Structure formats: structure tokens, C-alpha cells
Amino acid sequence: MERIATRVTALLGTSYPIVQGGMIWVAGWKLARAVSDAGGLGLIGSGSMSPDLLREHITKLTSATDAPFGVNVPIFNRHADAFIEVCIACGVKIVFTSAGSPGKYTARLKDCGVTVVHVVPSARLAQKAAAAGCDAVVAEGTEAGGHNGFEELTSMSLWPAAVDAVPIPVIAAGGIVDGRGMAAALATGAEGVQLGTRFAVTVESSASEGYKAAAVKAAEADAKLYLRRYMPTRALVNPYVRQAMDAEAAGAATDVLDEIRGRGRARRGIFEGDAQDGEMEIGQAVGRIGDIPTAAQVVARLVSQYVETIASLNNTIGSSGVGDQQQLNRTDT
């Protein structure tokens, strides 16, 4: 396969500027290995692990591949301090931080020679990450699954704004499930992509079969952003999410929403496959996901469709009269 080179591939040491999101209950060492071995960057998602379990996943992944990989650490997590120290002790070279201030761990990680990438929902926070010394940012639009920014900036608004706001490379996330989305992201000036939902629905994902089946079945408007004023989260609509949304619409206070939410909802939804009462965190573009391929197949499709897409774009320029025969990029993915 052809290579795709940007500042992101140079930074991460990968063949392609493709990152697999470090999603809770989804991204263990098996998924990360599959993505890294296929030429992307696999991430272990620490957010649903204990520090000991994270160490185990890192150790297994280190033994299993020579390709670069990373770990995602949600800064608000009660184990975040321990996660960071586990990463450093295990010699992890790349850490993605999210959901918190980039000032908290960046200096410590950089002092240990770790590449740091921070996930942001706005250009303003991209600037904060750059100022904190991060090597790159993931600019994640509100169409992404899971926890989201309050600003609700969409990918098409956010990506080019982040690119213009910071000198460091921008990795685009939110709404990308194929090579057309990857080409769109790079057209806005991003130099890499991070995909969550697409990699969550693969053979190597730790998500339950129930979660994967629900994702394949979902229609275009089924992934809802809920808890908007409290803890914005995008998940598949189901009886639990509907109950929370109805309470929100009726003006429920935070403590009421907190009680409806309770604990362990994401585990129930993603890991246990409870389609009624679980929170199945998932991106808005889930309606365009129709199969459960291997992670390597996802990477290969992304690369080949990216190349095809750019060829189609080239064909739009400089001529006339071709428009009536031509239809760009119509593919079933």
C-alpha cells in the first residue's frame, strides 16, 4: 500500500496518519496491536482499567509488536496520576491525554521523553494545549461518541479553526468512518485522523457483541448527545438515554440527572451489551457503519479510499463538460 506522510506520521512514527481512539471498555492491547501492526497508531484506553490492569495491557502489547503505540489517559480519572506513572515506568513513548487540563501532566511526560497529544473540543483549548507544550492535538467535533465539549462545535467548524489556531499538528476526530472522511479532514488542514466508533466496531475491539450488533443496526440519527448541560455524552438512544433526555427537556437539575445516570452505565452498555439500560457511547456517523471487519481491514480501506478520493478531487479541476458523466466517490463502505 502507498504511504501517507504528514507531520503526524513523522511525530508518531507510523506509516499512516491514522489513530485509533483509546476508548473505555473497547481499546485493550489486542485492538491497539492490530491497528499499530496495520500501520496506524493503536491506543490502549486506560479509562476503564485499574493501574495494574493498564500495566498488564502495556506489557502484553510491548511483547506483541515492535510498532509504535500509545495510551490514552483521561485526566479527570481518579487513577490518572497512577496511569501516568505506569506509562512512564513501562517506557510508553506516546500518551494521549483527554478530559482535563493539558497543564497537569504534559511537563512530567515531556521530561521523560514521552510524546504528548491532548484531545480538545475547541480552538481555544487547542491553544492552551500548545502553550502547555503538547506535541499535537486531537480536535474532536461534537459528532464524536462518548464525552464531548459543552461548546458543541462540529468537526467542520472545529478542524480548520484548530489548524489556524496552533502551530502544532492537528489530528481530526468526530464523524470520520472512511477514507472520504479522512480526505475531508486533511483538506481542512488537519494532518491526521482519530477514529473511535469505526474501530470500536471491529473484530479485535473489546466491546460486547451486543454493542457491535447495535452499532451495525443503528440508523443515521440514533446517536444522541445527551446530558448536554451537565456531562455532554453521545450514545445510542435507548430507554435509559431517552429517560435522561426527557428529564433534561423538562428542566431536571444536575442531581436528578446524576441519579438517573447512576454508576457503571458505560460498562453495562459497551462491555456487557445491555441495550436497554446501558450507555452505548458511540459517534453520530454510526449510521454509516454496516459491518464488523478486522482493524487491519479498516486501515486498508481508509488508505485505499483516501487515495481514490484524492484522484476524484483531481478530476474536478481544470476541465469542463465532464460533470455530466462524473460522480465523485460514490462507494458503499
Question: Residues 98, 144: contact at Cβ < 8 Å?
Answer: no
Does 233 interact with a second copy (rule: CB under 8 A)?
no
For residue 139, list its beta bridge partners: 120, 172
Minimum distance from residue 247 beta carbon to a second copy (Å): 9
Does 63 interact with a second copy (rule: CB under 8 A)?
no
Does 255 interact with a second copy (rule: CB under 8 A)?
no
Does 327 interact with a second copy (rule: CB under 8 A)?
yes
Does 332 interact with a second copy (rule: CB under 8 A)?
yes
Minimum distance from residue 183 beta carbon to a second copy (Å): 4
Q: Which three cell numbers, joined as nine digits, stand for 171?
A: 489530528
Q: Which is nearer to a second copy, 187 or 203 (CB)?
A: 187
Kindly calculate the radius of gyration of the chain based on its CA atoms and give it in whole angstroms: 19
Distance (Å, whole) CA 108 – CA 88: 9
Q: Letter for the amino acid at 258?
A: D
Task: Report the residue from 251, 255, 263, 276 that binds a second copy according to the rule CB under 8 A.
Answer: 251
Does 250 interact with a second copy (rule: CB under 8 A)?
yes
Distance (Å, whole) CA 136 – CA 201: 26
Question: Residues 151, 122: contact at Cβ < 8 Å?
Answer: yes
CA distances from 252 to 21, 107, 149, 259, 266 (A): 32, 40, 20, 11, 21
Does 64 interact with a second copy (rule: CB under 8 A)?
no
Question: Per-residue x/- marks for a second copy, 123-142, CB under 8 A?
Answer: xx----------------xx
Does 328 interact with a second copy (rule: CB under 8 A)?
yes
Residues binding a second copy: number (CB under 8 A)? 81
Does 216 interact with a second copy (rule: CB under 8 A)?
no
Distance (Å, whole) CA 145 – CA 156: 16
Question: Per-residue x/- marks for a second copy, 265-304, CB under 8 A?
Answer: -------------------xx-xx----------------
